[in-house]
A = this chain, B = another copy of it.
């Protein structure tokens, strides 16, 4: 059996970290870069990690700046922001084989189904990364904490390739959970992301400022309940106790700037479609309205248009 080929599409804080782990575990990993390409060709890829630093030298690194030049892959890790998903036709089409496992390491709801349809794939995997990791300079990733990944797959015949990929991760030192109902995990992550990413961005505030304001705690809870009800329309049961737990944990957290607020402050496009629009439309199709979530979404659309 020839060696499995891994492709990382989007070598940033997430793709760079997990790709480097797989490389460290002896896998054949090919990385697509954008603006960092020339830097890594000269200097390689560097990961500072609280699990031990790791570098891939320029000579060892399979770096590309054009997907058309990459080999066909057994596993494609898509670690782009969802705002870049319109580029997937160009970025993953050249890499697909009949049995390729595409893994979307992204936030939000609905992308796996879209990708399965667009590329006529019988299965598409999804991953939720619980990690603190930042790209601090070109080709330089700082992995601060955590790193566990929850993976699942849409399409029944995808379980075997998914389990094989999970073993690759485990043996490369990554903690993995397989969640056969990945959609449940996605909704649970949205439960936090929808209120806190949105409110922090609209009000330009961190999580501690939000939790210090009784009206916003109330609003966050109301929005979480809307997400809970939306999830229910896709047979995902979120217990109300999880809402209380998440609010309690958020109150205890150090002040945290959400990814969407950082995107806004850095003039980047906001991840509105998969984090808001898809959930609102899915719920609406199933007869559930999300008025407070929609209000936040409409305000975020305004901010996003302002910056574009």
Task: List A residues at the B interface (Cβ < 8 Å).
Answer: 199, 202-203, 205, 209-210, 213, 215-216, 218-219, 222, 291-292, 294-299, 301-303, 305-306
Contacts and interface: CB of A to CB of B under 8 A. Distances in A.
A215 to B, nearest CB: 4
Contact of A203 (B205, B210, B213, B299): B299
A292 B298 CA distance: 11
A51 B205 CA distance: 46
Question: Which 6 residue pairs across A and B have the least CB separation, nearest first?
Answer: A291-B291, A215-B301, A215-B298, A219-B298, A295-B295, A213-B302
Chain copies in complex: 2
A302 B294 CA distance: 19
Contacts of A210: 302
Contacts of A305: 213
Contacts of A203: 202, 299, 302-303
A205 B294 contact: no
A218 B302 CA distance: 12
A295 B298 contact: no
Contacts of A302: 203, 205, 209-210, 213, 215-216
Indicate the member of A209, A222, A297, A299 with the most B CB atoms within 10 Å.
Answer: A299
A301 B302 CA distance: 21
A232 B56 CA distance: 68
A161 B291 CA distance: 45
A216 B301 CA distance: 8
